[in-house]
Chains A and B, each alone.
Chain A
Amino acid sequence: MDKILRINMSGANGPEIKTESLGAYAGLGGRAMTSTVVAQEVPPTCHALSAENKFVIAPGMLSGSAAAMSGRISVGCKSPLTGGIKEANSGGQPSQMLARLGYAAIILEGRPKDDSLYKVVINKDGVTINADNSLKMLGNYDTVQKLKTEFGDKIGCITIGPAGEMKLSAATVAFTDMEGLPTRHAGRGGVGAVLGAKGIKAIIIDDAGTRMREPKNPEKFKAANKAFVAGLRQHPVTGQGLPAYGTNVLTNVINEAGGYPTFNFKQGQFDGAAKISGEALAEMENTRGGDGSATHGCHRGCVIRCSGTFYDKNGRFVTKQPEYETVWAHGGNCGISDLDAIAEMDRLDDDFGLDTIEMGATIAVAMDAGLAQFGDAEAAIRLIKEIGQGTPLGRILGSGAAVTGKVFGVERVPVVKGQAMPAYDPRAVQGMGVTYATSTMGADHTAGYAVTANVLGVGGSVDALKPQGQVELSRNLQIATTAIDATGMCLFIAFAILDQPETFQALIDLINGFTGLSLTGDDVSDLGKKILSQERTFNAWAGLTAAHDRLPDYFKNEALAPHNVTFGVTDAELDEVFNF
């Protein structure tokens, strides 16, 4: 990966394509690349949909190589949802393909002079960009199908659906999976709206004629990759739990803990949880059968394979296996306990290009506003279809939970910095609440997901039983997560690393074997700190202050059943999180 593709959509004679050397961005990948480019090149006060904002796509550091788990891709920009910096990442094939074509980043800037919609084609011979208005308002599935007819089945696609074209703040960017379907999404923060504002409907990648990226030290790399894979396979979470049940394995357990947000965060347990649990989903998928039904990877090179494929009762493909957050958002949070209905909503979200977490949270807010009854799956599906049709109500809903709450006068709106909370009630799991409140990304469960802090030596002497300890741990977790996001590795590797120091060492050896560097755990941690610091600085200049690092008041005032707990971390403690 030795070059950057830059496309200026504001060119006097139409879009201008430039290929540049890496310059100051050399050595960066994934979130490190996207956040550095945004921090360096985007005016923090610009409007997220303006010509001044930039849309950055960056494969992970090790993407395109034989390293296991290395095929995640990051996108970054100023977010129309949070008003701050955004990195969202995804699985799918494009990361590996772009990396093999040598691109460390694609930077899209400016804005087209008219309302034409463009497609970008990248292959070993170079890059072209052309208007193609025949793609207008097509869903992601039809778009990709049309592109495959034109360019062949082997392409990888990065696309937006109608939600992105309408520049809605819950819009995603879709990435095609191993089967060439647009099931993988950079979901959060309205990144699809920014790509839509650039006038780009699709990026088509053809890596024919390219080769796998070669490591600098093949022997070390090969041995480290072997140890890394062995570590992932032997760990009960990455080797057994996730492949068997997917992330939805969490439903029963979070529900048992009383931390499963139900009926728009009104209670912590849902009576229908067992019916939509990972266990029930796996049983259904195994009974219905079909290729990759219960265990499947989101990209080639994944050895955990937490995903799967959802077929309806007649064996027809519906969508990829819905993840825990999706099942929760469209399920328990809306009082819905029908897996077929949830899968249909996942499919609609993917087709229109909508964030499943934001949509589930939004529909629950709409239910609180009286637009539908909790538990009414048909009404929920109808509301999502309003978005696809671009009706005025649909555009409100597609703008996310905060806007919907405002329009319909709902007080209970579970957002931080305008972004909806995921599937863990912060009153039950308070450390998660600290991360929701203070993450640079808005309420985000993955921000403090990587439980590697102790191995990285940054968990240190924390007394986790004191609020101060929770603050310190949350800080360390956010640093560690940011570092993993920079490598482009799937965050789920974190579980094996937590318990198996030798697997963490294998990861460091893998990076060093590939790059020829001699990084240590401390260096990786420093990288995480550096990225977070520049994200915080961007947000500060964008106008996000300590007042934005807060949960909505009702989490402090309304006790959550069954444990009757409120969020108890004080504002002063929250303000300590980024004190490094």
Chain B
Amino acid sequence: MELERLIAVQQFLYREARLLDERRFDEWFELFTEDCLYWMPTRYNRLRDGTGEQWPVEAEVEDESGLAYFEDNHRMLRRRIDRLKTGMAWAEDPPSRTRHFISNVEAEDGEAPGEIVARSAFLAYRSRNEGVGEDEDFFSGMREDVLRGDGNGSFQIVRRKIVPDFVVINAQNLSIFF
């Protein structure tokens, strides 16, 4: 049944990515629980300590007390989406053309009963305006999601931790979701 679960998780993540790329943000928002955390901590270049350690990624990612690119609860996620409807969200008007490529999906039991931890890699492409030169961006990273059954055979996201592969964002903003 592991395989079934993995496929269900994969399909959930693919569909979620499609909702973003099709700009169906209200439907995307429904995929998050009310107690959700949408978190993308910052990362930094860390000094080698010379002990032959295994270079743990967590050691170069800020914890909860440090700066994050996103640190959204349900309400803040809602605000981000509502902003797009104000007619004055210039960074997304005209909207970005995005494609979220999701891969390297793994699923395992979470800490709480019924919860699943899903890990996935992403490559997000953004094309804006004429789509040349400064109007093209790539974002790469991994995500660790805590999923809960939604009661209808699918899932909801309780917690998404996004670990970026960049230290300096090679783009003028993060106006899209990951």
A binds B: no
B interface residues with partner A (beta carbon < 8 Å)? none
